[in-house]
Structure 1
């Protein structure tokens, strides 16, 4: 399956790109197929049109993973996601996976609802809206914590470790969200 992965250079994005090697990566940082800022991207740019029309699915991971980032960061993430989905719908992308989080519905007292969690709730609603398009499917996948390195896991607080997803679980869940296979773990609201 060929994906367009936004946020391709993040911890989750790198894992997805490795598991789906024919994919096209998009990130704000140089080092991937397309370098672009989702806040200013031109969805009429031929490179972007080609990328969106020649993939089997869009996986949108290009948001801040920081629950404590300024509210403006999460407002921008919602705006970016809505614009991206409008472009995907216009270009008839059949399958979309949006990164959500347990912060949308906190499962631990250390996780309080904030702008980050609310932005993930909006992503879930945007996925539901996208699903109404004929022949289109969207899933908001509540991704657990995927550390950048094993060292980061070792130093993490227990509540964060309790929300840990291994690379194997991430890909299992992503495959299920893409409709490719039944995984071992819950998707969407896990």
Structure 2
């Protein structure tokens, strides 16, 4: 694996969760992932962010070719959430989600995002009863729809049926409005 030109990396458990557990990449899909730097048969602990970005594009073309990028990335976010919970790290996280509840999970999003190797700003603002805004700022790899699907998936594990809307998007900034 070559280093990341940007210096940013993504955890291998995200690759495992999405591409192995959820999407079960095989055949030409697995070949295309291998070509961009992820081998489903030889996983690693970390990958350059550039491999993650390219692998998401591969997944869109192979799994959701009839959907817009936004719709496909939202579904990939949902699939990432489900698949991650099947990894050893995800199983640990999953044990606490139902007990955590939606309010505390939303409040912890900034600390969960801090697991990333790049520091960008994430704030949570309560707008009303069961209504929150999660704001992401200065994210060079902003994928609001992927994050919307991931947040939705995590909140479902707390026992609610959430609605997550991308309410603002710019090049490196976006807001997610979350209600239930």
TM-score by length of 2: 0.29
Q: Which has the higher helix share?
A: 2
Q: Which has the higher strand share?
A: 2
TM-score by length of 1: 0.28
Structure scoring higher RCO (CA < 8 A, sep ≥ 6) equals: 2
